Every structure is written in C-alpha cells, then in structure tokens.
Amino acid sequence: MSHYPALRLRRTRASAWSRRLHAETVLTPADLIWPLFVSEGADEEPIASLPGVSRWSIANIVARTREARDLGIPCIALFPNTPAHLRSDDGAEAFNRDNLMCRAVKAIKDAVPEVGVLTDVALDPYTSHGHDGLVDAAGYVLNDATADVLVRQALVQAEAGADIVAPSDMMDGRIGLIREGLEGAGHGNVQIMSYAAKYASGFYGPFRDAVGSRGLLKGDKKTYQMDPANAEEAIREVALDIAEGADSVMVKPGLPYLDIIVRVKAEFGVPVFAYQVSGEYAMIEAAAAAGAGDRDALVLETLMAFKRAGCSGVLTYHAAHAARLLGA
C-alpha cells in the first residue's frame, strides 16, 4: 500500500515546541548593536523623521547604555550631532580630543565598561558641507587627504576608550592606514569594523536629520559610496578591507542588500554585520502606525532575515525594543 506523502514537512511545524526545536536560525539580544545619537543640547531631543528615536545628552547616553546592558545588548554605536559653530570645511572637530564624541565615549566607559562602544569614523558630522571627507574646489571628495584625517579621528576615539572604530566614509585604503595608526599608538586591541559595502542609498535621510547634515550636503555621495547596481564590486571592496586588517565588515543598508550579505559570508567566512538603516526603521514605524503590519512581528522578522543571511549581528534602532521582545 502506497502512502502519500511519505514525508510531510508540516509535521515539525504542528506545535510551538517543535517549531522551536527545529529552528535553523536563532536571534538573541546578543546579536544586536544599538545606534545612539549624542547631542550637546537638552536631555532628550526627539527626531521627527525617526519616531521613537531621540538625540541624548551625555548623561542620558550613559543611561541608555545601562539600559542596553540590562537588556543583554552587548554593544552600542555612537553618532554625534555636532553644533553648527564647530563644523568646518576641514572637519577639524573630528580629531579634537575633547569633542562631543570623545567625551561621550569616556563617560560611557567610566560608567558602563562592560558594554562595547563602537564609534563612527567619517567626517560628515563635522564638515560644513556634509560630505564624509575633504573636498576640492570642484566639490570632489579627496581620498588620500581624507584618509589621513580619518586616522587622526580614529586615534582620538581609541584614546577616549572606543572598543571598535567603524570607518563609514568609503575612502580607498583607509583601513590599512587606520590599522597601522592604531598599532603604532598602542591600541592593538581596538577592533575595526569596516563599512566595506556601503551603498549610495535613498534610505539614509532620517539619519542625516539626526546628525544634522541633511540640509548641509552639497551634491551627493555617489563618487565614493557604492552604486546599488553593483554586487561584484562589493566583493572586491570587502576583500581589500580584510586584507588591510578589518576585523569585521558591514553591509549597508540592510534588507535591500541581503544578497550581498549572503555572498560576503560565503566568500570570506568573516564576521559580517548589517546596518538596518534609518529609512528601514522609519518604514517599519510608518507601516505599524498605518495599521499595515504588526510592529513586533515586522521587527523580529526583519532582524531574523539578517541572521539567516549570515550576519553575526545587526545595527538597528529597534535594538532595545527587539531585546525586550526576545527576553519576554
């Protein structure tokens, strides 16, 4: 007597305990990095284009880091909103040892040393023109001159106590120069997480509001950030950054580039992180507000997608919310 079908894949889905037992991918709070914005202003400054996200004073950044610790989130990522009067064409505030970023890092590491601190290495929070590097008279971002400044920026962040420096500028060769600078200054254990495949994306708008650079930007960033049409180029970018000493690499944005994450993990077998960027966060919040989807389900499903694709972790503004859901 024939039996159809011999194998029923629905058998293992029939109950909740079985679904848990057979889950191929696991998401925990330890997979999350929480991006936070620090400001010289009030204790809390809500960001209109990022509902539920605020800029925080240094004291409140420390409080958010304690919250991360209590939720089991291992690392926070720090981004400054530099006051307008400290922005300049050369972005010199980036390597001021007493700048907002360095003071925030010191405060966090003094108060909550068990949480990792990742710092952004790029000039866009510090330049009056909103670009990630130094520009010439024609507005073109200069690669080598910018890379030299990024080394200085990374060094003051490491001296302040940063555990991971994360160059997000997309200049060629900067990972090797930063690695050499860190080693020479006695910061051999400071990690580099390279924004290796960072695309010139339409999903960054709310972030630029958060750091105060959207209205400043002259032109676009297509001469240094990657073309969304390109995948092979991403593999070349990652290969270069690994060879230059990156400890981990990042793909940014997240969901539109899951194919890149899969390929990078398969090709190199290195720790790969995704940045679920501000526009992705804002879309989930807008969908939830419109009744088009359940916020909790959308948050967890998208984060699971990154893990399934091969990510070691995810930078997400939903980190605290997700950690609460996962710990419930």
Say what the pLDDT of residue 291 is: 97
Mean pLDDT calculated for residue range 2-29: 93
Lowest mean pLDDT among 59-73, 174-188, 203-217, 273-287: 203-217
- In DSSP terms, 274 is beta-bridged to 251, 314
Say what the pLDDT of residue 143 is: 97
- The whole-chain average pLDDT of the chain stands at 95
In whole angstroms, give the CA distance from residue 310 to residue 305.
9
Encode pLDDT of 283-324 as tens digits.
999 999 999 999 999 999 999 999 999 999 999 999 999 999
Model confidence at 241: pLDDT above 90 = yes
Say if residues 188 and 247 touch (Cβ distance below 8 Å). Answer: no
Q: Is the pTM of this model over 0.85?
A: yes
Model confidence at 3: pLDDT above 80 = no
Q: Residue 105 domain-assigned?
A: yes
Neighbour-count burial of 40, counting CB atoms closer than 10 A to its CB (0-12 exposed, 13-18 middle, 19+ buried): middle
Model confidence at 211: pLDDT above 90 = no
- Which range marks the domain in which residue 154 is found? 27-327
Q: Is residue 265 annotated as part of the catalytic site, yes or no?
A: no
Q: Is residue 221 annotated as part of the catalytic site, yes or no?
A: no
- 3-state secondary structure at position 120: strand
Encode pLDDT of 25-48 as tens digits.
999 999 999 999 999 977 999 999
Say what the pLDDT of residue 1 is: 56
Q: Residue 10 domain-assigned?
A: no
Say what the pLDDT of residue 328 is: 60
- Residue among 43, 22, 47 at smallest CA distance from 35: 47
Q: Residue 237 domain-assigned?
A: yes
- Which residue's structure tokens are 């909790």? 296
Say what the pLDDT of residue 12 is: 96
Say what the pLDDT of residue 83 is: 92
| pLDDT confidence band for 61 (50 / 70 / 90) | very high
Residue 315: C-alpha distances to residues 34, 75, 76, 113 (Å): 6, 9, 9, 20
Q: Residue 19 domain-assigned?
A: no
Say what the pLDDT of residue 6 is: 85
CATH number at residue 121: 3.20.20.70
Q: Residue 170 domain-assigned?
A: yes
Given 109, 198, 265, 307, the catalytic residue: 198
Say what the pLDDT of residue 2 is: 66
Q: Residue 15 domain-assigned?
A: no
| pLDDT confidence band for 4 (50 / 70 / 90) | confident
Mean pLDDT calculated for residue range 187-202: 97
Model confidence at 205: pLDDT above 90 = no
**What is the C-alpha radius of gyration for the chain, rounded to an integer number of angstroms?**
20
- Residue among 309, 237, 221, 250 at smallest CA distance from 120: 250
| pLDDT confidence band for 325 (50 / 70 / 90) | very high
Neighbour-count burial of 93, counting CB atoms closer than 10 A to its CB (0-12 exposed, 13-18 middle, 19+ buried): buried
Q: Residue 21 domain-assigned?
A: no
Say what the pLDDT of residue 212 is: 75
Q: Residue 20 domain-assigned?
A: no
Given 106, 109, 221, 252, the catalytic residue: 252
Say what the pLDDT of residue 98 is: 97
When divided into structural domains, the chain yields a total of 1
- Residue among 194, 211, 215, 324 at smallest CA distance from 278: 211
